[in-house]
Amino acid sequence: MPIFFIGHGSPMNAIEETEFSRTWQTLTDSIPTPKAILCISAHWITEKTSITSNDFPPTIHDFGGFPKELFEVNYHTPGDRNLAKQIADSLSEIPAVLDTSWGLDHGTWSILRHIYPDANIPVLQLSIRNTPDGNFHFNLGKKLQNLRNQDILLVGSGNLIHNLRLADWGKMNDSEYGFDWAIRANNLFKSLILNREDGSLIHYESLGPDIDLAIPTPEHFIPFLYILGASSPSDKIQFFNDKVVMGSLNMTSVRYG
């Protein structure tokens, strides 16, 4: 299976027809039908690595200030508790717990409702353990790599550049608007990814002031490290939705394989 890091951006992408959601709708054209989907979302951070094990994970509306229509979305897809246990057991020395208190947050369902609108494929979420250690997340991603051979689709959901404090909300509908530092950061990330400079990406905090602005807090970047870890040196790398928006966010997404 190929694997994806997807920039999810505003929750409104879940219900609006945007250039980004239209691209998500085309991804299945070149993906074999997966047996299940494992998503690492920027919006589930826990003290212990956790995996959803609900029979039917609830749709979580983890945001405020958006239209009623967004809160009415219900992505009613099955889970897979047996697969959740299998994944937890496969992480060996990294303790992982099965969790029924969470479900699918908007980092997952806002994307998947466009990719798999029939909601007929089991979906699990893997939490982000509350540590800024890039090596931990990368190495955990490596342990997930074998799922690709089991027809499991791995998806990381966040944003490589995510600085809401500096966002220009008046430019929300302008998909060509980026601050100079954000454009430089986007280009640097793409260069490092294409050249397989994994060490630099793992230690992103050492990449300079543009990246400091791009990643003021790490939770939206960390899902990428899981996908980077699960990638293979032989994977073909493709970018899509490669745009900086609202000045200080980017939608740039990566496919490996």
pLDDT over 90 for what percent of the chain? 91
Question: Which pLDDT value is given to residue 171?
Answer: 81
Domain map of the chain by residue range? 3-255
pLDDT reading at 172 higher than 80: no
Dihedral sign for Cα 56, 226, 218, 244, please.
negative
User: What pLDDT digit, counting tens, does each position of 211-226 carry?
Assistant: 999 999 999 999 999 9
Q: What is the CA radius of gyration of the chain?
A: 17
Whether residue 120 contacts residue 37, with contact meaning beta carbons closer than 8 Å, is answered with no
| Strand pairing report for 3-7 and 152-158 | parallel
- Residue 22's pLDDT band, with cuts at 50, 70 and 90, is very high
Question: Which pLDDT value is given to residue 158?
Answer: 98
pLDDT reading at 169 higher than 90: no
In the predicted model, what is the mean pLDDT of residues 40-46?
97
The pTM of the whole model exceeds 0.85: yes
Residues belonging to the chain: 257
Question: Which pLDDT value is given to residue 143?
Answer: 96
Class of domain 3-255: alpha beta
d(C-alpha 205, C-alpha 66), whole Å = 32
H helices of 145-254, in order, are 180-194, 198-202, 209-214, 222-230
Question: Which pLDDT value is given to residue 218?
Answer: 97
What average pLDDT is seen over the chain?
Answer: 95
User: What pLDDT digit, counting tens, does each position of 149-164 carry?
Assistant: 999 999 999 999 999 9
Question: Which pLDDT value is given to residue 175?
Answer: 73
Whether residue 178 contacts residue 245, with contact meaning beta carbons closer than 8 Å, is answered with yes
